[in-house]
Amino acid sequence: MVLGFYPGCSLKGSSREYTESVIAITRKFEIELKEIPDWNCCGATAAHNLNKELSLALPARILALAEKEGMKEILIPCAACYSRLATAQYELNKDPELKEKVIKIIGMPYSGDMVLLNVIQMLDKYITPNLEEKIIEPYLHKVACYYGCLLVRPYNILKFDREEDPQSMDILVKKLGAEPIDWAFKTECCGGGLSISRTSTVGRLSGEIIRDARDRKAEAIIVACPMCHTNLDMRRPEINNYLGAKVSIPVLYITEVLGLALGIDRKSLGLERHFVKVTN
Amino acid sequence: MSRIGVFICHCGENISATVDVARVAKAASEIEGVVHSVDYKYMCSDPGQSLIKQAIKEKGLTGVVVGSCSPRMHEPTFRRACSEAGLNPFLCEMANLREHCSWVHEKNEATTEKAIDLIRMMVEKVKLNQPLREIKVPVTKTALVIGGGIAGIQTSLDIANTGHQVILIEKEPSIGGHMSQLSETFPTLDCSQCILTPRMVEVAQHPNITLYTYAELESVSGFIGNFKAKIRKKAKSVDEKLCTGCGLCTTKCPNKKIPNEFNEGLGLRTAIYVPFPQAVPNKPVIDKKNCTYYQKGKCKVCEKFCPTKAIQYDQPDEILEVEVGAIILATGFTVKKVDFFPEYGYGKYPDVITGLQFERLASASGPTLGEIRRPSDGKIPEKIVFVACAGSRDPAKGIPYCSKICCMYTAKHAMLYQHKVHEGKSYVFYMDIRAAGKNYDEFVRRAIEEDHVNYIRGRVSRIYEKDGKYIVKGADTLLGGRPVEIEADMVVLATAGVSNEGAEELAQKLHVSYDPYKFFAEAHPKLKPIETNTAGIFLTGACQSPKDIPETVGMASGAAAKVAALFSKDEMTREPLIAVVNRQAPPLFSTCVGCFLCQTACPYQAIEREEIRDRSGKLIKTVAKVNPGLCQGCGTCVAFCRSKSIDIQGFSNEQMYSEVMALLND
């Protein structure tokens, strides 16, 4: 089976381990990921605050390229990219005039009926049905599933999971043998794009998330967004500084946890690339 | 030869801004049979009506067409005007140039053309109109009140006191409704039970009120003045006549761990129970779902101890058929439970409760005898957070409306807490304080200024438990959106007031419309807040929208006045727009062949069989006949009749065809 693949910038740079683990898993289930050729920026953060048409044209061009390749379904592991592409698709389908305008801007045919999958939707659809027999090493840890803001919001566009108290990752990790904690920080802000510009704010916001996970005895935090991962993992010194304690709970992508349970080696999953050391 | 008058209304600018009214009037004057055609700014006004009356007299009109608004708005007005000028009111018709034309189209040539078409159709119809007389039907002077909360109680008492009979049904074992659950009432802080229970007793003792508790409406048929209702009296498993209400059974019942509905789940009750000590009637019922005997076939402890042998396990549900002239819906509301709120814990925290649960904690008859204690461990909370607008005014939650009562009861709750726990600290998160009402704003100010309740303007984003405390995270929008975190011992959510369970089903039974939130719809939002769109069915209280007690009581008395007006006459008039089976001279008598397909089609059982006999009494034929009291003029029989023997008066096939032909011959 071949699935379209939109990596976006993070998966090519700061979160290469996310790409690596996604590929490692899909390969194990004989799914070939075909990258959309000549893809461009999804416009996250900047575009939709500056220019509405640009913020729609950028994702539309990506989707048009995928259509040109004959793709029907594409995987978008980054939560921000997923949110931008889904929002653009929704906005354009709602407004035919705007759609015509954007088609003119991108200069390509665009139908708007591509099926978009985030990592959890992809796992639910193609991996979990045949998962049980393939689990070699159950992930027997107490974990905190952290969804962040963009994976489940806005509900009226994504129609995926419960926006205030999402469950999809919790259900998935249970199947891997892990015990998800019941906590209230699943969708609290990690600091997002302030990662570069205001690290102290990230230290505080992500710090509160890490504090609650620690207090509830989580042994790992599970994420599905490169930005969340960057803030919770790479900004750990700032977090520790804010908390006044050294917290060494690792932050894993859901795909990495799944990979470990499937017995895939650490290197293929990119586990050595983390700032906070991941112990088995 | 017809002499028709056409009267085109501008409706201020409602019609004339889009339709060229002068051209419509001129075009109308050219239609064959039209002898008079004018336009005027407000045809419904007194001078406008005079134009019509004058023309009828001076021009000897045989029919009138008014081109203005919907007949729902002003048909009675114009028909009355015609009648006053000596013309049979049913020779007056309206063409809807507003809702059907000017309001829905742009200003252009085609819009005016359409207006002319609408007039032409009505002129052709009115040429065939026959003078009709209103039908008189008797009025059954008994009212059926559904729901025994304060709304149903008040309206029942008011109707009964005018001397008319009332049947009051209540689905719970006792009347009293939500008001009987309340601790104290705003803005005076008088005890709810103390002002309510005397009225409950009055209902039970009133000679004109028949009370059925544990009873629900099964079905309804008929029409204003003449409804037939079936009431299901659910089996109480206790013979009400034999039972003395001694209460021995409720102390002996071994199944004592059933969540008490009256205490909003904060206490327990037995399987045979009286909902609360002041219940009316004060006699128990057996909750079959939770009774050991009904579930397992063994126990019968209550029967063993009952000194009057009143327990009857095999008592069946009873269906009562009653005839009533009016129906009043007083079915009330309910509140969203805490499990509706994922961000506040989905109901998993025992000390995050609803406002109604707090009422029970604060009530002297409640599970803590009026002491404010945490449901989880019985400790007195040192810090309480009240969250207003939990669900209300939140389109994302599907409840965009304001629940109206929460601002006031939240202030009351905080006040009651401060009065009972002097060292306690209370916080109220609010969006706006909506305290419109006599002495209401003063009441809220008192809570803030005298009882030192901390009001924080902002919403709560999340509540979670940590180290035995509830962390309430919110924002203070008066301080520029600064995040606020409060560690509370207890949280009270003023959860949205929503329509009662089963409201939709009940509305469908009664053919009453309802809004998207399943609150019953009034006939007019301003001028008919008590009437429904079904004549003879009225609304009162929170089944129409969330309401406080004074408003509910006012509305209940209003509904009683409406019913009293209806019952003030022995007969009422109905429009004669009903089906008739034709009658002809002998030897045919009627084109009806007596197939009685119409009888099977009629949804109102209005078709009867009539035997036509000669002078010697010999049967000639049996034909259909329409009972004018039952017929609703729906026309189903007309469509079914194979021999075209039935017509609706005022809407005959001939009239309909002539309307269509007027369009086609254009």
What's A232's DSSP letter? I
Indicate if A93 and A144 belong to the same structural domain: no
- The tokens describing A96, both together, are 């035919």
Q: What are phi and psi of B656, to 5 degrees?
A: -65, -45
Q: Rounded to 5 degrees, what are φ and ψ at B456?
A: -120, 120
In this structure, what token pair is assigned to residue B281? 């009637």
B664 exposed, middle or buried (CB, 10 Å; 0-12, 13-18, 19+)?
exposed
Identify the domain boundary among A119, A145, A171: A119
Q: What CATH number is associated with residue A38?
A: 1.20.1050.140
For residue B584, the model assigns a pLDDT of: 86
Q: What are the residues facing B221 on neighbouring strands? A: B228
Interface residue of B466, B471, B472 to substitute, partner A, most A CBs within 10 Å? B466
Full domain range(s) for residue A84:
2-119
The three-class DSSP label of residue B463 is strand
Q: Quick one: angle between helices A199-215 and A236-243, nearest 10?
A: 70
Plot region of B622 (φ>0 → left; ψ -120 to 50 → alpha; else → beta): beta
| Count of domains for chain A | 2
Closest among A169, A171, A170, A204 to A188, alpha carbons compared: A204
- Give how far Cα B612 sits from Cα of B136, B579, B584, B594, B630, Å: 25, 19, 12, 11, 22
Residue showing tokens 């004549």: B535
Query: Is B462 in contact with A184 (Cβ distance < 8 A)?
Result: yes
Q: How many CB pairs under 8 A join A and B?
A: 18
Give the alpha-carbon dihedral of B488, B490, B495, B501, to 10 degrees.
150
Q: Which residue of A has its CA nearest to B483?
A: A205
Interface of A with B in 215-244 (CB under 8 A): 215
Distances from the Cα of B242 to the Cα of B206, B285, B310, angstroms: 21, 13, 5
Asked if residue A124 belongs to a domain, the reply is: no
Q: Which two tokens stand for residue B406?
A: 């929460």
Segments of chain B with pLDDT less than 50 = none
CA nearest to B655, candidates B632, B630, B638 = B638
Residues B407, B433 contacting (CB under 8 angstroms): yes
* Res A160: pLDDT: 84
Interface contact A215-B464, CB threshold 8 A = no
Examine the domain organization and report whether A114 and A140 are in the same domain. Answer: no
CA separation for the pair A125, B603 (Å, rounded): 51
A183–B464: do the CB atoms touch at under 8 Å?
yes
B358 in the Ramachandran plot: left (φ > 0), alpha (ψ -120 to 50) or beta? alpha
Triad B97, B98, B99: Cα angle to 5°: 115
| One domain, residues A153 and A259 | yes
Confirm whether A129 is domain-assigned.
no
Please check whether residues A84 and A178 belong to one and the same domain. Answer: no
For residue B284 the two structure tokens come to 């128990």
Q: Is A35 near chain B, with CB under 8 Å?
A: no
In a domain, A234, yes or no: yes
The shortest C-alpha distance from A85 to chain B (Å) reads 22
Strands B619-626 and B646-648: unpaired
Residue A177 domain-assigned (yes or no): yes
Predicted-complex ipTM score: 0.81
Question: Are both A74 and A34 inside the same structural domain?
Answer: yes
The C-alpha atoms of residue B129 and residue B534 are separated, in whole angstroms, by 27
- Domain check: are A87 and A150 in the same one? no
Q: Pick from B560, B526, B532: which is nearest to B544 by CA? A: B532
Quick one: tokens of A198?
Answer: 């205001």
- Residue B585 has a pLDDT of 85
Residues of A in contact with B464 (CB under 8 A): 183-184
Query: Are A148 and A109 contained in the same domain?
Result: no
Residue B336 token pair: 């969203």
Angle at A173 between CA A170 and CA A177, to 5 degrees: 130
CATH of the domain at A170: 3.40.50.11810
**Is the omega angle on the peptide bond into residue B259 within 30 degrees of 0, that is, cis?**
no
Compare all CA atoms of chain B with the CA of A162 and give the residue at the minimum distance: B342
Rounded to a whole number of angstroms, the distance from the CA of B343 to the nearest CA of chain A is: 6
Query: Is A66 in the same domain as A109?
Result: yes
Helix B355-362 and helix B406-420: axis angle, to 10°? 30
Q: What is the 3-state secondary structure (H, E, C) of B191-257?
A: EHHHHHHHHHHHHHHCCCEEEEECEEEEEEEEECCEEEEEEEECCCCECCCCCCCCCHHHHHCCCCC
C-alpha closest to that of A107 among A74, A61, A56: A61
Chain B residue numbers touching A155 (CB-CB < 8 A): 396
Pair (A207, A244) in one structural domain: yes
Contact criterion met (CB < 8 Å) for B462 and A215: no
| Full 3-state SS string of B16-44 | CCCCCHHHHHHHHHCCCCEEEEEEECCCC
Q: What residues of chain A lie within 8 A of the CB of B341, using their CB?
A: 164
Residue closest to B271 by CA, chosen among B285, B470, B516: B285
- A155 Cβ neighbours under 8 A, 6+ residues apart: A163, B396
Say whether both A142 and A108 belong to one domain.
no
* Per-position DSSP letters for B52-107, written without gaps between them: HHHHHHHHT-SEEEEEES-HHHHHHHHHHHHHHTTS-GGGEEEEE-IIIIITTS-S
Cis peptide before A180 (omega within 30 of 0): no
Q: Provide the shortest C-alpha distance from residue A172 to chain B (in Å).
A: 20
Longest Cα pair distance anywhere in chain B, in angstroms?
98
DSSP label at residue B328? E
Please name the member of B346, B396, B466 whose beta carbon is closest to the beta carbon of A165.
B346
Longest CA pairwise span in chain A (Å) = 55
Residues 111-170 in A contacting B (C-alpha not used; CB under 8 Å): 155, 162, 164-165
Q: A267 in a domain, yes or no?
A: yes
Domains of chain B from N-terminus onward: 4-134 (3.40.50), 142-234+317-332+500-566 (3.50.50.60), 248-305 (no CATH), 335-498 (3.50.50.60), 579-648 (3.30.70.3270)
Contacts of B342 in chain A (CB under 8 A): 162, 164-165
**CB < 8 Å to B471, chain A:** 184
Low-confidence stretches of chain A (pLDDT beneath 70): 280
Calculate how close chain A gets to B458, using CA atoms only, in Å: 18
Pairing of strands B92-96, B460-466: unpaired
Contacting A with CB below 8 Å, chain B residues are: 341-343, 345-346, 348, 396, 462-464, 466, 471
Domain-located, residue A228: yes
Give the closest-approach CA distance of B372 to chain A in angstroms: 27
Instruction: Using CA coordinates, name the residue in chain B closest to A183.
Output: B464
Q: Using CB atoms, pick whichever of B342, B348, B471 lies closest to residue A164.
A: B342
B348 contact residues in A (CB cutoff 8 A): 182
Query: Hey, are the CB atoms on A184 and B346 less than 8 Å from each other?
Result: no
Q: Measure Cα distances from A189 to A152, A184, A241, B470 in Å.
A: 13, 12, 18, 20
In the sheet with A179-180, reading across from the earlier edge strand, the strands are A179-180, A142-145, A220-223, A251-253
A22, A94: one domain:
yes
Residue A125 lies in a domain: no
* DSSP assignments along B599-620, one per residue: HHH-TT--EEEEEEE-TT--EE
CB contact under 8 A, A184 and B463: yes
CA distance B65 to A147: 67
- Report long-range pairs for B471-479 (Cβ below 8 Å, ≥24 apart): B471/A184, B472/B385, B472/B387, B472/B427, B472/B429, B474/B429
The residues, ordered by sequence, that sit 6+ positions from B71 with a Cβ below 8 Å of its Cβ are: B94, B96
Q: How far apart are CA B160 and CA B151, in angstroms?
A: 14
Cis preceding linkage at B281, omega within 30? yes
Q: Which of A119, A144, A169 is the last residue of a domain?
A: A119
Q: Which residue of A has its CA nearest to B398?
A: A156
Of B342, B466, B471, the CB nearest to A165: B342
Q: What Cα–Cα distance (Å) separates residue A223 from each residue in A187, A236, A252?
A: 11, 15, 6
Neighbour count for residue A108 (Cβ, 10 Å): 14
**Coil, strand or helix: which one is A15?**
coil
Kind of pairing between the strands at B184-185 and B190-191: antiparallel
Q: Is residue A35 part of a domain?
A: yes
Q: Same domain, yes or no, for A190 and A231?
A: yes
**Chain A residues closer than 8 Å to B485 by CB:** none
With an 8 Å Cβ cutoff, are A212 and B466 in contact? yes
Last-in-domain residue among A67, A87, A119: A119
